[in-house]
Chain A
Amino acid sequence: MIVKFIDFFRDRLKATIWASYAVLAVLVVIDIVLVDKSHAHTWMEMKIPGWWSLYGFVACVLIIFVSKWFGHLGIMTREDYYD
């Protein structure tokens, strides 16, 4: 059952991807239009539309690239390094 469920989406990969983009867009729209921001902690959250979307995306990209850059400075090494 689980496998069928997964395969259902894998067989319609294009549609799934477009649906995912739509979800992201709707999320930002809801945030801008509907969500009450009077309790937000900082001005950035109130003034910048879709602030947390931007934050999430930038955070993800930063983590990937900074970590990989750091790793390739010599931190990542061959598996038998300590042998």
Chain B
Amino acid sequence: MIDFLHPAFILIVGALLLPFIPRPLKKAYLVLVPLLAFIDVFLFLQKGTFGIVTFMDWHLTFGRVDNLSQVFGYIMTLMCIIGTIYGLHVENDLEHIAAWLYVAGSLGVIYCGDYLVLFLFWELMAFSSVFLVWFRGRKESLATGYRYLLVHTAGGLALLAGIILRYQANGGDLSFGPIGVDIPSVSTYLIMIGFILNAAVPPFHAWLPDAYGEASVSGAVFMCAFTTKTAVYALCRGFAGMDVLIPLGVFMALYGVVYAVLENDARRLLAYHIISQVGYMVTGVGIGTQMAINGTCAHAFAHILYKGLLFMGCGSVLHMTGKNKFTELGGLYKKMPLAFVFTLIGGLSISAFPLFSGFVSKAMIVAAGFKEHMLWPAFLLTLASAGTFLHTGLKVPYFIWFGKNNCSEETWEKAKDPPWNMNVAMAAASILCIFIGCYTPYLYTMLPYPELAAQYNPYSAYHLSETLQILLFTALGFFLFVKKLAPEPTISIDMDWPYRMGGRVFYWVARKPIQFVDNCVSEFYRYVGLIPLMTQAKFWSWFDWHAIDGVVDGIARSVRGLGAIARRMQSGQLQYNIFYAVTIVAVVIVAYVLA
């Protein structure tokens, strides 16, 4: 019996076989493969280190199974099942293949034990997920996909540079573990940049709303779960206690909230809230205590489910109506009531409402901050959570399902609850969100430090009272100032401006100054190089024609002339020959006699 079967292996093989599965069996197969991966993680993986492969001088570790990798492996494979069910209606095999390879990349990173394997799967994630953007099939999708790829390639290069520097400095040690945050070196920062780019920490975050807002409906459900949370896993593994992550994480949490206010596109708004929520996790990693790491993992777990649910809810509106902007939607509760309820459950979960999943996970990070007497981070994160409820819990449901009806007649006609598979996926995620919130041991026993988690009780009277007051008074503020929040048909300039406009500057530089210099060089060459060259060439051509050819032709002409004379003399008539012979002989005799 094999002692270790990598769940990524199941997904990769499953993906490669998918095109050969006959059509009637395809839907069953689509559910089966991620289910097998989940069962593998849940039932068969034993703690320990497996899958060590010797390649050249290196020992590559594919299977490090411990508490930290298990909690992430569990939720990733679970989300893969939900996401695949949500996309079951998608006929394009390639989209499923891209999604599974993407999840395989994420699982590869989660179970790897060294930087080389990490890098391999890290790049697999970037290069397979970009197809989920391209398969949307719009004109913009192509450009967005390329931007996504370029940013991730840059991040991957920073990571690779860090890995190489670290390899040199450590005398060939590639093992991936706590990186030594007390004495950070250049390699530490480079690896960190690689990781936090994928975690969408500003200023490296703009790829996220750009790509997730443009991805295909089911593609976005996958994307919102895997890239950032795999990066959170990598940060948990390597960077626990890295101080600089605390201010970065808090800034992120607030940054996402501010941009979410301005956003008119529902999925882009949700994308900005990913940045905000991952901010909590990054802060948790920065605090770095056992409680904070527990909180980070719990929040990542809960986040994957409720954010997936929110993307599924808003995605179903996009799928049915073709619209995703608040200025083109509104008042849909009569047409899409199920999608509304599911999205609301996602919204209440992300807002950390009691009895929903966010409540039992987010609080752990904030509590860890208070416990370490980090009052500012804790208070600012609480402020951000008010913002989360304001947007995801209130603004998204209100402006899509209630509020002013901005639907065109066509949109209104098309709007109805989505196909059964989407409803099943959303129902499953909703049930899990509520289950996690109500029955805390389910999640808490999976965390890296389960004994510590078991001591934590989020349902204390004080915490309940605190949370309910914050959330309900935020709701009061929302309804008092709802006019102020009315959506505007705009886009917001973000940190993608430098490279989107930078690309244009590059084009301009290529078109104008470089073209000008090129023209100058051509002109200069024409005057200084080409004209003398041509003159010289003309001279030699003349010389060749008149001098050399003259000599050669002259000789030829002389020979031809002589030949012509000789030919004329050789007439072939006997009497002429005799005449010439006698004449010559006569001349010779006369000359001899006279001499």
Contact = CB atoms under 8 A, between A and B. Distances in A.
A52 B472 contact: no
Contacts of A78: 490-491
B466 A74 contact: no
Interface in A41-83: 41-42, 45, 50, 52-57, 59-68, 70-71, 74-79, 81-82
A70 B258 contact: yes
Interface in B448-485: 460-462, 465-474, 476-478, 481, 484-485
Given A39-B462, A79-B490, A6 B472 contact: no
A79 B500 CA distance: 15
A31 B261 contact: no
A37 B466 CA distance: 10
A27 B461 CA distance: 12
Contact of A36 (B257, B370, B462, B471): B462
Interface stretch (B7-15, B380-388, B403-411): B380-388
Interface residues of A, number: 45
B258 A66 contact: yes
B18 interface: no
A70 B488 CA distance: 14
A24 interface: yes
Contacts of B383: 55, 59, 62-63
A27 B469 contact: yes
B2 to A, nearest CB: 49
B462 A67 contact: no
Interface in A9-56: 23-24, 27-28, 30-31, 34-37, 39-42, 45, 50, 52-56
Given A34-B461, A63-B258, A75-B262, A52 B488 contact: no
A52 B469 contact: yes
Q: Is the interface of B mostly helix, strand, loop or mixed?
A: helix
Interface stretch (B67-75, B332-340, B566-574): B332-340
Contacts of A23: 472
B382 A60 contact: no
Residue of B338, B340, B471, B477 most packed against chain A (CB within 10 A): B477
Contact of B378 (A37, A39, A41): A41
Given A35-B462, A36-B461, A75-B493, A2 B340 contact: yes
A68 B482 CA distance: 13
B502 interface: no
A55 B471 CA distance: 10
Q: Is the interface of A mostly helix, strand, loop or mixed?
A: helix
Given A28-B469, A60-B477, A79 B338 contact: no
A61 B481 contact: yes
Contacts of B467: 52
Contacts of A70: 258, 262
Contacts, number: 137
A68 B383 CA distance: 17
B473 A40 contact: no
B390 A64 contact: yes
A70 B493 CA distance: 11
B532 interface: no
B474 to A, nearest CB: 4
Contact of B386 (A34, A50, A63): A63
Residue of A6, A42, A57, A59 most packed against chain B (CB within 10 A): A59
A55 B386 CA distance: 9
B446 interface: no
A14 to B, nearest CB: 14
B389 to A, nearest CB: 8
A10 to B, nearest CB: 9
B375 interface: yes
B29 to A, nearest CB: 34
Interface string B270-303: 0000000000000000000000000000000000
Interface in B484-513: 484-485, 488-493, 500
B472 A27 contact: yes
Nearest to A38: B462
A63 B387 contact: yes
Given A3-B334, A36-B462, A61-B477, 14 more contacts: A6-B337, A53-B470, A53-B473, A55-B473, A56-B469, A57-B476, A60-B473, A60-B478, A71-B492, A76-B492, A77-B491, A77-B492, A78-B491, A82-B491
29 contacts: A2-B333, A2-B337, A2-B338, A3-B334, A3-B337, A31-B465, A35-B461, A41-B370, A53-B473, A54-B473, A55-B382, A55-B469, A55-B473, A56-B469, A57-B474, A60-B474, A64-B485, A67-B259, A70-B258, A71-B262, A71-B490, A71-B492, A74-B493, A75-B262, A75-B492, A76-B491, A77-B492, A77-B493, A79-B489
Interface of B: 257-259, 261-262, 333-334, 337-338, 340-341, 370, 375, 378, 382-383, 386-387, 390, 460-462, 465-474, 476-478, 481, 484-485, 488-493, 500
